[in-house]
């Protein structure tokens, strides 16, 4: 897909919905330097969704959609949960998989895309909640990393099963009492980022979505490394404000609290030397290009 | 009656490069830039009234956004 693929036939302009016309006129398809700075002055690749007012997950969605390096050549794989409410409203190809199967589906998809488009970069991004990634789909998630499949896995970690009323999940913090887990969690939060590093991921990052520039850098790196080197994993804290008993305007502060020094979502990343060399090489090339264009 | 955000054109400092409300609004295409006036404005039909924009604007001491009933 690309800008030319979404063009409207001239005789249909008067009957197309305004949202689609905006997408054709003002979206950031086909731009190599797209990022969160385009937000507000261009049409985003996500439209009116049905998530709650003030949901941090939708902030994360906006930042990720704005940071993807090549949305026209990206296929996203989603899973059951609040994210599956948003995928119908996203202007990027996407697949809804069975609960937990997302990394297996993405594996087949990525291999098929490589066969079908051998000379093109096609990115696959898995975006699922913590239940799908860590509890129900842990087998598929880990096996895809063991095999070194080249796609990005993004986990929206809200530390419980929020969509179904607040049951305990593997990523819930120890001792947390949720609406449908009244005893409190008895064991520690699963250390999936460390597991990912040991399982063969070339790049792993843990963050919240309170800084768009950080989300942009991390998502870009993760997608580009997955394109060239190996699997990448991002764990993004998107608290469910309803289930942890916060007001709609308190989600941002909750994320900032969770990323303070010593807290569980303090920003950290693991990168293999090979991936680091690739990123440095890319930065050096970009710098050289900039110097060359400045000289002209 | 709906609770939606309203941006005061006089108090908005978007011309100085501020994009806080646009960045932190959870709704897509809800707070946009008016490129002629260089101020942000709210698309009221998309606003869910979460007040996050008010929080970030007040925290930066611009105080340009208020919630209004429509």
Domain layout of chain B by residue ranges: 3-69
Percent of chain A with pLDDT over 70: 99
So what's the ipTM on this one?
Answer: 0.93
A172 vs A273: CA distance, rounded Å: 31
Please state the pTM of the whole predicted model: 0.92
Contact of A39 with chain B, judged by CB distance below 8 Å, is answered with yes
C-alpha dihedral sign at A247, A248, A249, A255: positive
Cα distances (angstroms) measured from residue A70 to each of A37, A45, A185, A220, A283? 16, 12, 40, 10, 18
A-facing residues of B in 4-63 (CB < 8 A) are 19, 22-29, 31-33, 35, 40, 46, 48-52, 54-56
Instruction: Give per-residue pLDDT as tens, A9-52.
Output: 989 999 998 878 888 888 888 787 888 888 878 888 888 899 99
Instruction: Give per-residue pLDDT as tens, A62-115.
Output: 999 999 999 989 999 999 999 999 999 998 999 999 999 999 999 999 999 999
Give the count of Cβ contacts less than 8 A between chain A and B: 69
pLDDT of residue A42: 86
Domain layout of chain A by residue ranges: 52-295
Mean pLDDT of chain B: 92
What CATH code would you report for B3-69? Answer: 3.30.70.20
**With an 8 Å Cβ cutoff, are A248 and B52 in contact?**
yes
Homologous superfamily (CATH) of A52-295 is: Thiamin diphosphate (ThDP)-binding fold, Pyr/PP domains (3.40.50.970)
Nearest C-alpha in A relative to B53: A249
Contact of B67 with chain A, judged by CB distance below 8 Å, is answered with no
């Amino acid at each position: 897909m690309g800008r030319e693929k979404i063009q409207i036939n001239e005789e249909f302009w008067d009957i197309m919905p305004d949202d689609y016309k905006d997408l054709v006129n003002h979206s950031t398809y086909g731009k190599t330097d797209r990022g969160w700075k385009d937000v507000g002055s261009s049409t985003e690749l996500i439209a009116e969704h049905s998530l709650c007012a003030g949901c941090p997950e939708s902030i994360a969605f906006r930042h990720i959609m704005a940071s993807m390096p090549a949305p026209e050549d990206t296929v996203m794989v989603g899973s059951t949960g609040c994210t599956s409410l948003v995928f119908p409203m996203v202007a990027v190809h996407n697949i809804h998989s069975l609960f937990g199967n997302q990394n297996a589906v993405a594996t087949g998809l990525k291999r098929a895309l490589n066969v079908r488009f051998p000379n093109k970069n096609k990115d696959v991004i898995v975006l699922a909640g913590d239940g799908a990634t860590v509890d129900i789909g842990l087998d598929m998630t880990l096996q895809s990393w063991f095999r070194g499949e080249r796609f990005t896995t993004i986990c929206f970690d809200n530390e419980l099963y929020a969509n179904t009323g607040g049951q305990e999940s593997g990523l819930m913090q120890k001792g947390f009492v949720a609406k449908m887990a009244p005893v409190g969690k008895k064991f520690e939060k699963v250390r999936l980022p460390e597991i990912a590093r040991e399982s063969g991921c070339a790049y792993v990052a843990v963050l919240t979505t309170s800084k768009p520039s950080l989300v942009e850098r991390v998502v870009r790196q993760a997608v580009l490394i997955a394109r060239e080197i190996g699997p990448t994993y991002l764990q993004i804290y998107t608290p469910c404000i309803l289930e942890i008993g916060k007001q709609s305007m308190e989600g941002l502060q909750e994320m900032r609290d969770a990323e303070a020094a010593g807290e569980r979502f303090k920003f950290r990343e693991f990168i293999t030397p090979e991936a680091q060399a690739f990123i440095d090489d890319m930065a050096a090339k970009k710098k050289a290009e900039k110097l060359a264009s400045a000289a002209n | 009656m709906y609770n939606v955000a309203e941006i005061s054109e006089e108090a908005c400092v978007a011309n100085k490069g501020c994009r806080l409300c646009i960045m932190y609004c959870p709704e897509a295409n809800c707070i946009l830039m008016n490129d002629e006036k260089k101020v942000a404005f709210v698309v009221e039909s998309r606003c869910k009234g979460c007040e996050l924009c008010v929080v970030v604007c007040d925290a930066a001491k611009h105080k340009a956004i208020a919630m209004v009933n429509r």
